[in-house]
Amino acid sequence: MDISDIDHLISRVALGDRAAFSKLYDATSAKLFGVALRVLNNTASAEDVLQETFMKIWRYADRYASTGNSPMTWLITIARNTAIDRLRATKLTADIADVEDRVAAQGPTPEQSAIAGSEVARIVACLDELTEDRRSAVRGAYLEGASYADLATRFDVPINTMRTWLRRSLIALRECMAR
């Protein structure tokens, strides 16, 4: 199952093809479940989010072509946003240790990698140009859905300070990515 297969499956799903939907689920649910778990740190909530994510995929598959993004990026964006909505709606007591144990047990498989190696290298290189704590803040916001308030607490600075320096970091990142 590579990127063009997933691309094809989404276009079949847009036509209401349930078999394609089933295959798309088999091919991508583990990654999307991982994305939801990373944000939510809670298996039951992540399952709910996975369910909601695939319902959105079924409903909005016809919008995929217009986004111009890679199919995995599109799917991950839906899963991530759904998970963050859930995170913001309910303040959860996370069972972090439990999930981290299991996540540590298996790394991502290279063939399932959503993005070409050169692009990964580029964002990593640009993030490396930021200072350690700013890099960590950007990653925290993306991977865990951390809010400014969460980040301010984590780095022990006022929210406005947090926002000011994260915005500067984002601009620096954008300039680096445009080089």
Partner 1 sequence: MTEDLTPQEENSALAAEYTLRLLSPEEERAFETHLAQDPQLEAEVAQWVHHFAPLADEIAEMRPPKTAKAKLMTDLFGEVTQGQTAPSSIWSRLGLWQGLTLAATAAAAILAVMLVTGPAPQTPATGPLYVSELSAQDDSLRVLAVYDGSTGGLRLTGTDGTAATGRDFELWAIIGDNAPVSLGVLTDDGTGNIILPPELQSTVGGMVLAISDEPDGGSPTGAPTGAVLAVGEMTDI
| Contacting residues toward partner 1, per CB under 8 A | 15, 18-19, 22-23, 25-26, 29-31, 33-35, 37-38, 46-47, 50-51, 54-55, 58, 67-70, 72-73, 76-77, 80-81, 84, 88, 102-103, 106-109, 112-115, 119-120, 122-124, 138-139, 141-143, 145, 147-148, 163-164, 166-168, 170-171, 173-174, 177
CB of 91 to partner 1, least distance (A): 15
Closest distance to partner 1 from the beta carbon of 9 (Å) = 11
Chain centroid to CA 157: how far? 26
Nearer to partner 1, 131 or 139 (CB): 139
Question: CB-wise, 67 or 131, nearer to partner 1?
Answer: 67
Residue 52 exposed, middle or buried by CB count within 10 Å (0-12, 13-18, 19+): middle
Report yes or no: 24 and 32 within 8 Å, Cβ to Cβ: no
- What is the C-alpha to C-alpha distance for residues 171 and 166, in angstroms, rounded to an integer? 9
Distance CA 90, CA 166 (A): 25
Q: Shortest distance, CB of residue 22 to partner 1, whole angstroms?
A: 6
Smallest distance, partner 1 to C-beta of residue 69, A? 6
Q: Which residues contact 38 (CB under 8 A, 6 or more apart)?
A: 83, 103, 143, 144
When the beta carbons of 101 and 156 are compared against partner 1, the nearer one is 101
Q: What is the DSSP letter of 129?
A: T
